[in-house]
Amino acid sequence: MTTTLRLPEPRPGSRILSVGTYRPARVVTNDELAPRIDSSDEWIRERTGIVERRFASPDESVADMALAAAGKALANAGVSPEQIGMVLLASVTHPYQTPAASTEVADRLGAHNAGAIDVGAACAGFCYSLALADTIVRTGTSEHVLVIGVEKLTDFVSLDDRGASFIFADGAGAVVVGPSDHPGIGPVVWGADGAQKDAITMTQSWVEYRDEPGDVYPVLTMQGQAVFRWAVGEISKVCQQALEAAGITADDLVAFVPHQANMRITDAMVRALKLPEHVVVARDIATAGNTSAASVPLALERVLESGDLPRGGLALLVGFGAGLAYAAQVVELP
The number of CA neighbours under 13 Å toward the Cβ of 52 is 11
Site for ligand UT7 in 153-212 (CB under 6 A): 162-163, 166-167, 200
Q: Is 275 an interacting residue with respect to ligand UT7 (CB under 6 A)?
A: no
The answer to the question of residue 298 lying near ligand UT7 (CB under 6 A) is no
Say whether residue 265 binds ligand UT7 (CB under 6 A).
yes
Q: Is 127 in the site for ligand UT7 (CB under 6 A)?
A: no
For residue 167, the minimal CB distance to ligand UT7 (Å) is 6
Question: Which region among 112-120, 151-159, 180-188, 260-268 touches ligand UT7 (by CB under 6 A)?
Answer: 260-268
For residue 156, the minimal CB distance to ligand UT7 (Å) is 13
Residues 206-235 that bind ligand UT7 (CB under 6 A): 224-225, 227-228, 231
Give, as one character, the DSSP assignment of residue 114.
-
Catalytic residue among 30, 123, 127, 144: 123
Burial of 6 (C-beta count, 10 Å sphere; 0-12/13-18/19+): exposed
DSSP 137-160: HHTTS-SEEEEEEEEEGGGSS-TT
Residue 290 designated active-site: yes
Instruction: Tell me how far apart the alpha carbons of residues 18 and 174 are, in angstroms, rounded to a whole number.
Output: 8
**Which three-class secondary structure state does DSSP give residue 268?**
helix
Residue from 290, 303, 316, 327 in contact with ligand UT7 (CB under 6 A)? 290
Residue 259 known to be catalytic: yes
CA distance 231 to 240: 14
Closest CA to 255 of 177, 329, 317: 317
Q: Residue 3: phi, psi to the nearest 5? A: -105, 130
Pattern 9-38, binding to ligand UT7, x per CB under 6 A? Answer: ----------------------------x-
Tell me the residue ranges of DSSP E strands in the chain: 13-22, 26-29, 52-55, 84-90, 115-119, 144-152, 170-180, 189-192, 200-202, 220-222, 253-258, 280-281, 314-321, 325-332
Is residue 113 among the annotated active site residues? no
323, amino acid identity: G
* Nearest residue relative to ligand UT7 (C-beta): 224
Nearer to ligand UT7, 120 or 224 (CB): 224
- Site for ligand UT7 contains 123 (CB under 6 A): yes
Catalytic residues: 123, 259, 290
In the complex, which residues of this chain contact ligand UT7 (CB under 6 A)?
37, 39, 43, 47-48, 123, 162-163, 166-167, 200, 224-225, 227-228, 231, 261-262, 265, 290, 292, 321
